[in-house]
Amino acid sequence: MPDCLVVDLGTIEYPSALALQRDLHQRVVNGDLPALLLLLEHPHVYTLGRRSAESDILVSEFTLRGLGATVYHTDRGGEVTYHGPGQIIGYPILDLRAAGLGPLAYVRALERVIVSTLAELGIHATSEDRPTGVWVSDSKIAAIGVRVSHGVTMHGFALNVDPDLSYFDHIVPCGMPGASVTSIAEQGVELKVSAVSDILTSHFANVLSLSVTHSTLEAITEDPLAVVSTAQGRT
């Protein structure tokens, strides 16, 4: 069995992705699947982590509807963030004990994955002496928020490739008033999300010392439509 299966889900609604994560998380906990890295994009959505405040969303429900954005409370760490087209969302589901990592070391490893990915693109980024995430100068380019249950991870990271950054104007990103955000495109590198995903997958394997194999949702889930259909109404 390979160390890690990488599954590209394309674009998927947030609640469907969350339901899928929960199903696959339990299967990894049970030992039925190896580690997984789910790569995807979300339609416009704001998610509030366990430390979020409702006041971190700065606009009304009417404005949110006009933006085509939904809001979900979730069980990851951190505060509010935005996900949308043009972002790489990565949801690693892996056993930290098998990886020899504690939760903090795991978060730092994810930061190194993104810093190394950006370095390959000629973008100098850092996570040292900064709040959790990855930064280019004083602007955040990637957010990280995770949950660990039964020693196995959920949620993960969001790397801005070329999203509409104006969506961040409607929140207090990661609970930091006045924080600015940036993207790979804003740093002068024009690449498709799929191209950046390939580079990121390579660095994910290197940093976490994993042998990765690409797979499909159909290959690892007997009835993927049944799994994601349970997401209706779940947050």
Query: Which positions are annotated as active-site residues?
Result: 174
Contact criterion met (CB below 8 Å) for 76 and 46: no
Under 8 Å CB-to-CB from 158, ≥6 apart: which residues?
81, 83, 87, 88, 89, 90, 142, 143
User: Among candidates 132, 18, 31, 29, which has minimal Cα distance to 75?
Assistant: 18
Contact criterion met (CB below 8 Å) for 14 and 42: yes
Q: Is 8 helix (H, G, I), strand (E, B) or coil?
A: strand
Beta bridge mates, 212:
4
176 vs 174: CA distance, rounded Å: 6
